[in-house]
Amino acid sequence: MAEITAEAVKDLRERTGAGFMDCKRALVETEGDVDKAVVLLRERAGGLSRRADEAAEEAERMQRRLAEVAERQREAGESWAGLRTFSADRAPVVGFDARASQFFWLAGQGGCGIETSAALAEIAADLLLDGATQRFDASALEPRRFTEPRPRAPLP
């Protein structure tokens, strides 16, 4: 297996505009061959652009919804409201999406955003900048826990 250097990832990012982790994965898959990695990333770009379009549509839908909530709050007078996002397992979701690797999740704080935002922001910054964090075993927060099969405990 070829050693993947930070310089090779940087070069690939500059040539393709792809995200850090996409470039690193492409280099691993092509055993460090930057030219093959460029081709691989370009082949994958079609699927990413469709997902990006879907994400943009979802963002527009959420923006309209937030505007509706804001308007209702204005009509109600002095009050405060926030959106509480919950994940299926009630734990925060922090990390890159396995299906859209340039999408980073930081959601699911379930009404505890004020209490958890500082710690989760530091974990998110570590993951975004370094690809890992030493603060906490963040694997329990990864979005892939919802898309990858998990081993089940045997029934008693």
* Sequence-distant (≥ 6) Cβ neighbours of residue 80 within 8 angstroms: 73
CA dist., res. 62 & res. 70, Å (int) = 12
Phi-psi region of 110 (alpha: psi -120 to 50; beta: other; left: phi over 0): left
Q: Say what the pLDDT of residue 151 is.
A: 61
pLDDT reported for residue 27: 93
Which range has the worst mean pLDDT, 48-52, 93-97, 109-113, 139-143?
Answer: 48-52
pLDDT interval class at 28 (50, 70, 90): very high
Residue 75 confidence (pLDDT):
73
- The pLDDT assigned to 78 comes to 60
What pTM, to 2 d.p., does this model score? 0.45
Average pLDDT over residues 41-60: 68
User: What is the band of 51 on the pLDDT scale with cuts at 50, 70, 90?
Assistant: low
In sequence order, the 6+-apart residues with CB closer than 8 A to the CB of 109 are 84, 85, 92, 116, 117, 120
